[in-house]
Amino acid sequence: MRTISRLTAGTALALALALPAAAQQAPAEPAAPQQAAAKAQQERAREQPGNNAPVWREVRSGQPNYTSIPGRETGVLIQPQARFPGQEAMSTAGEAWRNFRNGPVTFYGGWLLVLVAAAIAAFYFARGPLMLHDKPTGRLIQRFSVLERWAHWTTAIAFVIMVVTGLIILFGKHLLLPVLGYTLFSWLTALSKNLHNFVAPLFIVGLVVMILVYIKDNLPGKGDLAWFGGALAMFWSGKHVPSGRFNAGEKAYFWVGVVALCIALSVTGVIMLFPNFEQLRTTMQQMNVIHSLSAIVMMVLAMGHIYVGTIGVEGAYRNMRDGVTDETWAKEHHRYWYDEVKAGGVDATAPPPGAQAPVQAQH
């Protein structure tokens, strides 16, 4: 961008200097054609003043010219032609990326988010939350340690900030600018971008700790395949498929969402956040597309996760808030884990000091 704005500011002067300079820099042999091109350009400026098409053709060719700024690609004013998936015509790579980002990514991604949110809301109003079948016993089991809860909530809060600011950056131009006007929108977007940049390291640290503390209980185990088989029926009928500490749905969220997508988001984000490692513009554009697509899929998964972690399943939110669950909840939702705890295989029977017995559910 910096290169392009410099171009528009002093186009004539910069190009007039740059091209002869390129000729001077070039080794003795290829100097002749370059000198000829410069001469032809001088003649053209006399014969057809204002028509400098050959210069622009050269600029658009993507061939590097002379610049005193060190670094890769700094001598290339405009990237060569490229085409993103679904695009029929070639255009300069920057334009191809911009059209792809503001076209299919925003359009289909935006509608996907809206439709999934609507589907979850429809499910909630049609089916309602999954309730416990039996009354809570009042006996508590430790479900999450303090470290597990800190890792979870640090990452979750950072994630929500990343989501809100990311949505403003991606969709704000279409949805907020017409409502807010330029002044307010530019303030809001600048604030969002800074928050997005500065909360990212907190998200990454939380993510790494979370992966480390949760990985063990998310490894494949007994009952996982059966869970997938019975999951749909379970959500509608409320009849649970027995599982270990985490069921196969939670494990899928862990591996696909938390591990694969969040790592992809972090890596691509860091590459864009620190453009000082000589990344090429093409690399930045590709990272931007992977980042946006991963973010959209992760938001879809997170919507489902947040739904079942709050209003969708009775008692789930309390588990993560207080770290304890009632024996009835453990027995109905994670039968194999409950049996293991009861058999003494897992040290979870002693709830942390101060943990309160759950409020009796309405039946």
Residues that bind ligand HEM (CB under 6 A): 143, 152, 155-156, 159-160, 210, 214, 218, 246, 250, 253-254, 258, 262, 302, 305-306, 309-310, 316-317, 319-320
Strand residue runs (E) in 78-237 = 81-82, 91-92, 140-142
> Of 113 and 306, which has the nearer Cβ to ligand HEM?
306
**How crowded is residue 341: how many other Cβ atoms within 10 Å of its Cβ?**
21
Question: In this complex, which beta carbon is closest to ligand HEM, that of residue 45 or of residue 156?
Answer: 156
Residue placing its CB nearer to ligand HEM in the complex, 152 or 281: 152
Q: Are 15 and 52 in contact (CB under 8 A)?
A: yes
Cα–Cα distance, 324 to 142 (Å, whole number): 4
Closest approach of Cβ 142 to ligand HEM, in Å? 12
DSSP state of 227: H
Please give the structure tokens belonging to residue 322.
Answer: 């207080």
Q: Which residue has the tokens 């009042």?
A: 138
- Residue 257: CB minimum distance to ligand HEM, A: 6
Taking the least distance from each CB to ligand HEM, the nearer of 84 and 214 is 214
Q: How far is the CB of 82 from ligand HEM (least distance, A)?
A: 33
User: Smallest distance from the beta carbon of 199 to ligand HEM, in angstroms?
Assistant: 13
Rounded distance between C-alpha atoms, residue 310 and residue 221, angstroms: 26
Nearer to ligand HEM, 187 or 198 (CB): 198
φ, ψ of residue 139 in degrees (nearest 5) = -90, 125
Q: In this structure, what DSSP letter does residue 345 have?
A: S
| Positive or negative torsion for Cα 127, 125, 334, 258 | positive
To ligand HEM, the closest distance from the beta carbon of 27 in angstroms equals 55
State how far the Cα of 362 lies from the Cα of 355, in Å rounded to an integer.
Answer: 21
Q: Which is nearer to ligand HEM, 250 or 326 (CB)?
A: 250
CA distance 158 to 198: 10
Q: Which is nearer to ligand HEM, 18 or 210 (CB)?
A: 210
Return the exposure string of 31-69: e unless at least 16 CB atoms fall within 10 Å of the residue's CB, then b.
eeebeebbeebeeeeeeeeeebeebeebbeebeebebee
CA–CA distance, 19 with 33 (Å, rounded to integer): 12
When the beta carbons of 189 and 325 are compared against ligand HEM, the nearer one is: 325
Find the shortest distance in angstroms from Cβ 301 to ligand HEM.
9
- Give me the residue whose beta carbon is nearest to ligand HEM: 309
d(C-alpha 213, C-alpha 155), whole Å: 13
Q: What share of the chain is helix, strand, coil (3-state, %, to 5)?
A: 65, 5, 30
Closest to ligand HEM by CB, 243 or 285: 243
CB of 250 to ligand HEM, least distance (A): 3
CB of 90 to ligand HEM, least distance (A): 38
Rounded to a whole number of angstroms, the minimum distance from the CB of residue 247 to ligand HEM is 8
Supply the Cα-derived Rg of the chain in whole angstroms: 29
| Shortest Å, Cβ 356 to ligand HEM | 17
| Crossing angle between the packed helical segments 281-309 and 262-273, to the nearest 10 degrees | 140
Of 208 and 320, the one with the shorter C-beta distance to ligand HEM is 320
